[in-house]
């Protein structure tokens, strides 16, 4: 049995991509006669026919390497069926590259957008397997995505380091954590880092409630506070707006990020000294943690098994304590938000941590 496998990484990079690529390749070489074709820069490479045949040696020494050896690029799903100024039929071009590269299947490593395009290609008749990567941990059907735990470690380290500055200067430090739609990263790192206030996209906040939480700490003799806020967090008022209305409102109010705005508003409302901290893309960089290396490897091996069994149209997932899979059609386009009854949310509330509501 011979399988010619195309592999691509799409969307934002994250720790564990190379470990997962390695897992797919090494397991495939071990379980059957495999040839690996690397697609450059995600779906962009698949559209433009940018691919190369890879050797077994290409997958050595990459287990601990951050980023992706294949390169990545964001190619929004919403544009996939649009014929734009370049007059390229993207879906047709991707199918042509698949045939030109003589692929038996395509393995797509990425987040929600990547999985939606993977499902599109599956519906178009290609043999596709999806692998869930994102520091946001928001892919439906899997308990965890690779890259998430490393990002939690990094964000927690940021919060840990900010504590000393906050305590030394008696300041309120507002730390903006990545997560535009889902607040898993902010919730977990906020709890692990000992934040006093945690603000999530799923739980719209009231500025007065946040201010009161800071004032209560001051009254209790605590002269500093730590706020962990997801980049996609919003006020109760903003949550009632449509997406376009909210964008226009933020433009009109010279919005430069949630941490900067919140710090300024708290200074004006209660007279404290507040400073924003934005670690940004640092949260996506560097070597994967031991947990993510193991998770990525297990996911990659399971993808190779799906290929061996010719079980295509699937997305690898962690379900309970077992690596399994879900149909791409069942999970594509769905986001896993933090539920209000999540254990970590309950723990935060029971510890007296303010969630801004």
Residue 302 has a CB neighbour count (10 Å cut-off) of 23
Contact 133, 271 (CB under 8 A): no
Give the pLDDT score at 81: 84
| Percentage of the chain lying above the pLDDT 70 cut | 100
User: 215: how many CB neighbours lie within 10 A of its CB?
Assistant: 16
Q: What pLDDT does residue 252 have?
A: 77
Computed over every residue of the chain, the mean pLDDT equals: 94
pLDDT for res 334: 94
113-160 per-position pLDDT tens digit: 999 999 999 999 999 999 999 999 999 999 999 999 999 999 999 999
Same domain? For 158 and 130 the reply is no
Whether residue 52 sits in one domain with residue 133 = yes
CATH at 236: 3.40.50.460
pLDDT in tens, 9-39: 998 899 999 999 999 999 999 999 999 999 9
Number of domains making up the chain: 2
Question: Would you mind telling me the total number of residues written for the chain in this entry?
Answer: 357
Asked whether residue 347 is assigned to any structural domain, the reply reads: no
Same domain? For 66 and 136 the reply is yes
Based on the fold, state whether residues 171 and 227 are members of the same structural domain: yes
Q: Which residue has the tokens 């499902």?
A: 119
Close Cβ partners of 293 (under 8 Å, ≥ 6 residues apart): 16, 19, 63, 64
Rounded mean pLDDT of 292-308?
98
327 and 240, same domain (yes or no): no
- Is residue 87 predicted with pLDDT exceeding 90? no
SS3 of 329, please?
helix
Range of the domain at 122: 2-147+288-331
pLDDT tens digit sequence for 244-291? 888 888 887 778 899 999 999 999 999 888 999 999 999 999 999 999
Are 121 and 210 within one domain?
A: no
CA dihedral 100, 105, 110, 114 (to 10 degrees): 70
Q: Which of 136, 138, 153, 292 is catalytic?
A: 136
DSSP H helices in the chain: 17-31, 43-48, 90-100, 112-123, 148-169, 184-193, 207-219, 236-239, 243-252, 258-270, 290-308, 328-331, 343-350
300 and 250 together in one domain: no
* pLDDT (0 to 100) of residue 313: 97
User: Tens digits of per-residue pLDDT, 320-357?
Assistant: 999 999 999 999 989 999 999 999 999 999 999 999 99
In this structure, are residues 26 and 59 in contact, taking their beta carbons and an 8 Å threshold?
yes
Whether 136 is catalytic:
yes
Residue 78 confidence class, pLDDT cut points 50, 70, 90: confident
- pLDDT value at 186 more than 90: yes
3-state secondary structure 55-86: CHHHHCCCCCCCCCCCCCCCCCHHHCCCCCCC
How far separated are the first and last CA of the chain, in Å rounded?
58
């Amino acid at each position: 049995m011979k399988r010619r496998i195309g592999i691509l990484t799409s969307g934002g990079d994250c720790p564990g991509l190379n470990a997962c690529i390695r897992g797919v390749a090494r397991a495939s070489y071990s379980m059957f006669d495999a040839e690996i074709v690397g697609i450059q820069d995600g779906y962009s490479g698949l559209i433009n026919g940018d691919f190369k045949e890879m050797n077994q040696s290409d997958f050595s020494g990459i287990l601990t390497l951050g980023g992706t050896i294949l390169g990545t690029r964001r190619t929004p799903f919403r544009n996939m069926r649009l014929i734009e100024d370049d007059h390229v039929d993207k879906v047709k071009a991707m199918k042509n590259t698949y045939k030109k590269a003589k692929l038996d299947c395509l393995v797509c490593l990425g987040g929600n957008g990547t999985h939606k395009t993977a499902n599109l290609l599956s519906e178009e008749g290609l043999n596709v397997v999806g692998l869930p990567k994102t520091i946001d941990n928001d892919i439906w059907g899997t308990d965890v995505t690779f890259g998430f735990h490393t990002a939690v470690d990094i964000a927690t380290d940021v919060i840990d380091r900010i504590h000393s500055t906050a305590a030394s200067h008696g300041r309120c430090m507002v730390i903006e954590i990545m997560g535009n739609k889902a607040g898993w990263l902010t919730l977990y790192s906020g709890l692990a880092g000992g934040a006093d206030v945690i603000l999530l996209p799923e739980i719209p906040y009231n500025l007065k409630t946040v201010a009161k939480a800071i004032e209560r700490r001051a009254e209790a003799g605590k002269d500093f506070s730590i706020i962990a806020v997801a980049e996609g967090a919003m006020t109760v008022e903003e949550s009632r707006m449509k997406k376009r209305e909210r964008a226009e409102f933020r433009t009109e109010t010279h919005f430069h990020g949630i941490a900067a705005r919140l710090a300024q508003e708290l200074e004006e409302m209660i007279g404290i000294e507040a400073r924003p901290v934005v670690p940004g893309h640092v949260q996506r960089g560097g070597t994967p943690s031991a947990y993510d290396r193991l998770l990525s490897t297990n996911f990659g091996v399971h993808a190779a098994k799906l290929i061996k069994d010719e079980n295509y149209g699937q997305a690898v997932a962690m379900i309970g304590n077992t690596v399994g899979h879900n149909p791409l059609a069942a999970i594509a386009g769905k986001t896993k938000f933090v539920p209000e009854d999540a254990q970590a949310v309950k723990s935060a509330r029971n510890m007296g941590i303010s969630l801004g509501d």
